[in-house]
Structures are given as C-alpha cells and as structure tokens.
Amino acid sequence: MARFLDDQGRIPAHIDTQLKNCHDRYSVLLTLCNNAKMRALSDKSDRFLRDHGIAISSRRQREKSIEDYFEGVFQQITDDAFVALTATFERIVFAKAGNATGLARKIVRENYGKNPFDIAISSFVKDSDDIHNLSAVHHMLQGKIPNDLSHDLGKIISYRNRVTHGKRFGEETTISLQNVLETLSKILKIIG
C-alpha cells in the first residue's frame, strides 16, 4: 500500500482518493488471505481447514490442494477489486457528466432560449441519461484523452465486462490492479 504514497506519506496528486481506497481494501484482503493460506499450510492437524470449511481434494497432495484453493480465492478477490475500481470510476464519471450536462443546458438556455430553434439546439447537449455505460464513456473520451490511456481503458472495460458476465467471453487480462488504479486516476484528472 505504501507504494502509492510520496516521500511525505501523502497520496500523489495523480491518484484519485476514492480509487485508492478501493485498491487499499484489495490489498488488505489479499494480505488476510495470504495469512490464512500460510496458516492452513503450517497447521498439519488440518484444524484450520476444518474450522473454515475448506475442503482439500487430496490428502497426498495437501500442499498443492491448499495452494490451488487459495489461488482461486486470490483470483476472486482480484476480480472483485477490478469490478470495484471500475464501478467507482463509473460513479465518479457519471456524477461529473451530470454536472457538466446541467451546466451545458444552462448555457444553451441562457444564450439561445429566445431562439425559435432552441429546442433543436438543446437536443445537441447530451444528458447523463444518454450515457448508459462505461463503453459510452470510453467512446466520448476517445480523441480527448491520450491514445495509450484510451487503449488501456478499453482493455479495462473489456475485462470488467468479462468478469461481470461470468467469464463467458473475452480473455484474461495482464493489467495489474495498480495499473488500473493509475490509468483510471489519470483519466479522472484529465476530465476534471
């Protein structure tokens, strides 16, 4: 967790605090899970496994069974954190979009309200209701954020969709949660 702090122990300006909180929860869960794995491996009586309802598939391959079990738990924690980071990003972006569209509508109303074509003019202002998902946000941001961030955002959205739809389609990702945190934070900084 400390890797996100600067020399004075503060969160760097480019890291969004809400996103960092999601990542910090992930780090805590990962540490707790790793501690549980170490305890399960060291407890030769298997009491820890029984007390926590962890079934191992093979007594002969006890260590491998424990490793495999916890690898699944680690992956689930990572996938849940991936979804939490993107959901937090989505919530922040939609709030910003709502504020921006309200301001845009006010400007149109003040400057073109007496124009006979004011209804047609105001229809050019997108409403937060016109933005239904992260893919729409990604589409709106293309050309307005650097290509590498746009590319990474596309990969993040793709994997988030894979996880939330039961991994029925798409590919596993190589993007680390730290990279997700940094990418989404940079995008939020750009859009203000």
Both tokens of residue 75?
A: 């992956």
The predicted pLDDT at position 11 comes to 59
The predicted pLDDT at position 88 comes to 93
48, pLDDT greater than 90: yes
Residue carrying structure tokens 């924690």: 77
154, pLDDT greater than 80: yes
Contact present, 85 and 23 (Cβ < 8 Å): yes
Kindly tell me the burial class for residue 182, based on how many C-beta atoms sit within 10 Å of its own C-beta (0-12, 13-18, 19 or more): buried
The predicted pLDDT at position 165 comes to 87
Q: Indicate the pLDDT class of residue 156, thresholds 50, 70 and 90.
A: very high
Contact present, 15 and 88 (Cβ < 8 Å): no
Lowest-pLDDT range of 51-65, 95-109, 135-149: 95-109
The predicted pLDDT at position 74 comes to 96
Both tokens of residue 105?
A: 């509508």
Question: If DSSP codes are grouped into helix, strand and coil, which group holds residue 171?
Answer: coil
6, pLDDT greater than 60: no
Share of the chain above pLDDT 70, in %: 74
pLDDT averaged over every residue in the chain: 81
The predicted pLDDT at position 152 comes to 94
Residue carrying structure tokens 């992260």: 134
pLDDT digits (tens, 9 = 90+) for 90-141: 888 888 775 445 555 555 556 666 665 555 555 554 555 555 677 777 888 8
Instruction: Determine the Cα–Cα distance for residues 103 and 165; give it in Å rounded to an integer.
Output: 35
Q: Taking the alpha carbons of 174, 178, 182, 187 in that order, is the dihedral positive or negative?
A: positive
pTM summary value: 0.74
The predicted pLDDT at position 32 comes to 96
Both tokens of residue 120?
A: 């047609």
The predicted pLDDT at position 147 comes to 93
Instruction: Determine the Cα–Cα distance for residues 181 and 84; give it in Å rounded to an integer.
Output: 11
The predicted pLDDT at position 53 comes to 92
33, pLDDT greater than 80: yes
Dmax of the chain from CA atoms? Answer: 82
Residue carrying structure tokens 């994997």: 159
